[in-house]
Structure 1
């Protein structure tokens, strides 16, 4: 064999061996609601089921700190990060936040002594200044829900200087969000598993193109609505009626289950994926080419949606491999569940299931 061809053969064989030698990665997707208004006790069966699974990592629908820093300040996705940073800079505590090395030291100390409240406040502040929204919220959850009653007067003063009042954290900074799936389910899960981080996996590199396509689709939808109000007997009016019927069907599906756990099971069914696509894409593919339907704009939206979900899957698998994880749980809005399951199924050495597959 020619020397150059032989070397190429060795490289290809090595790459193939590397992939085949990887441990299979188990991914459990938990399709969630972003609003969880019930009492904490109603979510306990969900936490317990996930806790029995004992994942090595838990991912949330957060941007990685690196991606968040690169978001253009004027884009809709980037604006909240800038607002939170400005909020932090207005606080009474003006000392420099922890360096990455000092934050790693604080994490190690907190694993051994969770009651080191001053260090936890410093760690939360480090995350807030470095665009790590998920871990900022997790540490603030621990401070607010678990340790706040144990803070000494000095710790309470330091906490107030670093982050402002609890009311400001909720309303102005939106760093404490009691009705999210994280506050109700995934932060308690992490705490009970003894894990000190949540991992970010969202992908917003396509947000500008998505915004453009969705704006075009919405403009055409509004025109369809206006036409319906003028004359409800046209073919375009029939298209509008089909679109208008989707929202009631979507909420009727979610309101049918009797418990929160049953609602979460409903959100992880294929039917939910179909309903979500119809709601988010003005009726989706069944209405393509219907009179007045914004087919091309919706196609453009779906192309960006596919890219975003593929980016999310890539982020999960890459970080799980880097951490040597064997099983991970992914918390994501229920509209993503079925498309991410399909995409992950096509990735090498990945076994994917949903919340409903857990015993």
Structure 2
């Protein structure tokens, strides 16, 4: 009798598990895509309207254009992301030669402690150091922002001394760009996460196609350089007209945007389809409009765009996968403005995903 009951329970479990998995994978997901500027030089207070719009949305997760620790560790040594982060990692390691990344259990314990009381400053410093040494750039920068910007005024003498020992102080962090005071994260998304009491920032960048992208870009750049040389020899040719159109794309891009430098107006201008129409030609030597024009490197630019699209697809897949793993229903995605429109279109084509424009937020 007992064996029969167990068999019945096992049969029911086998029926329920696939349904539960399907339900989770198909759970509705709402995404606010925020096409962002990488340079944000205004005073912190001027970004409050942007932060408040996103804060009122109350996202379950905040994503940034960061590579995951696992992917960063697996990238070739000559990858730009590896080359950029390695010296920062070495700087922190050299200041604490015996330090090693915390275990997953230790990190979770630290996060829980900080959730209960955010002013365990030494705990936060050790967590930040572990993120650096463990190649989690997103959360290393988030915790260092919190330490340097939000917590430092509360440090006691011993805590300040420990901070200076472990990280070399504020100036050292800025010099090595572990604190990037003009980034979109420092001005908008880290304050947003802190005020919403989010313990982490989630990475969604995809660098799997960087080698092929770099190759395609290099080949296009060679063709463009050759075209420029021919233009200098004969400025009246059909190719010269192509060259002028290519340069005009850059001028059009430079003239795009609001007349005010107020961050809310700037961000609103980045989050409309019209921005993509001037950004694509500026990024791709004149873009689709010049395909087939005399002297234009059409095939090389198409190869660039193919790798570009794969990266955007990878980033969208990372957002959806991580959001559903965490059971999130609404998320904010911070991404460089060039990616905003194409990622919006890709996510809108993803079953179970709804995209809300930043400009449609109240």
TM bin, normalised by shorter chain, reads over 0.9
> How far is the alpha carbon of 1:257 from its aligned partner?
4.1
2:259 corresponds in structure 1 to: 256
Paired with 1:170 and 1:202, the residues of 2 have a C-alpha distance of: 23
Q: Does 1:153 align with 2:145?
A: no
Pair 123,92 (structure 1): closer, same or farther in 2 beyond 3 Å: closer
Paired with 1:33 and 1:130, the residues of 2 have a C-alpha distance of: 27
> How far is the alpha carbon of 1:345 from its aligned partner?
1.1
2:81 corresponds in structure 1 to: 77
CA RMSD of aligned residues (A): 1.9
Pair 209,194 (structure 1): closer, same or farther in 2 beyond 3 Å: same
2:131 corresponds in structure 1 to: 127
1:62 corresponds in structure 2 to: 66
Q: Deviations over 1:308-343 (max 9, x none)?
A: 000000000000000000000000001101110111
> How far is the alpha carbon of 1:17 from its aligned partner?
8.6
Pair 193,179 (structure 1): closer, same or farther in 2 beyond 3 Å: same
SS in 2 for 1:58: strand
Q: Equivalences for 1:221-260 in 2 at 5 Å?
A: 221-254=224-257, 256-260=259-263
Paired with 2:40 and 2:258, the residues of 1 have a C-alpha distance of: 13
1:181 corresponds in structure 2 to: 184
Q: Which runs of 5+ in 1 are unaligned?
A: 1-9
Pair 163,43 (structure 1): closer, same or farther in 2 beyond 3 Å: same
Counterpart pick for 1:203 among 202, 206, 226: 206
> How far is the alpha carbon of 1:90 from its aligned partner?
1.5
Q: Deviations over 1:175-196 (max 9, x none)?
A: 0000000000000001111111
The answer (yes or no) to whether the contact 1:50–1:189 under 8 Å persists in 2 is yes
1:191 corresponds in structure 2 to: 194
Paired with 2:314 and 2:20, the residues of 1 have a C-alpha distance of: 23
SS in 2 for 1:253: coil
The answer (yes or no) to whether the contact 1:124–1:139 under 8 Å persists in 2 is yes
SS in 1 for 2:257: helix
The answer (yes or no) to whether the contact 2:59–2:330 under 8 Å persists in 1 is yes
The answer (yes or no) to whether the contact 2:258–2:265 under 8 Å persists in 1 is no
SS in 1 for 2:171: helix
Counterpart pick for 1:323 among 321, 326, 339: 326
Q: Does 1:290 align with 2:290?
A: no
2:46 corresponds in structure 1 to: 42
The answer (yes or no) to whether the contact 2:24–2:327 under 8 Å persists in 1 is no
> How far is the alpha carbon of 1:228 from its aligned partner?
1.5
Counterpart pick for 1:353 among 342, 352, 356: 356
> How far is the alpha carbon of 1:255 from its aligned partner?
5.1
Q: Deviations over 1:102-152 (max 9, x none)?
A: 111010000111110000000000100111111111111111111111111
Q: Which runs of 5+ in 2 are unaligned?
A: 1-13
Pair 77,95 (structure 1): closer, same or farther in 2 beyond 3 Å: closer
The answer (yes or no) to whether the contact 2:258–2:269 under 8 Å persists in 1 is no
Q: TM-score, normalised by structure 2?
A: 0.92
Paired with 2:246 and 2:25, the residues of 1 have a C-alpha distance of: 49
Paired with 1:101 and 1:17, the residues of 2 have a C-alpha distance of: 26
Q: Does 1:139 align with 2:143?
A: yes
> How far is the alpha carbon of 1:93 from its aligned partner?
5.9
Paired with 2:351 and 2:28, the residues of 1 have a C-alpha distance of: 8
Q: Does 1:163 align with 2:161?
A: no
> How far is the alpha carbon of 1:76 from its aligned partner?
1.9
1:214 corresponds in structure 2 to: 217
Paired with 1:140 and 1:313, the residues of 2 have a C-alpha distance of: 27
SS in 2 for 1:329: strand
Q: Does 1:333 align with 2:336?
A: yes
1:7 corresponds in structure 2 to: none
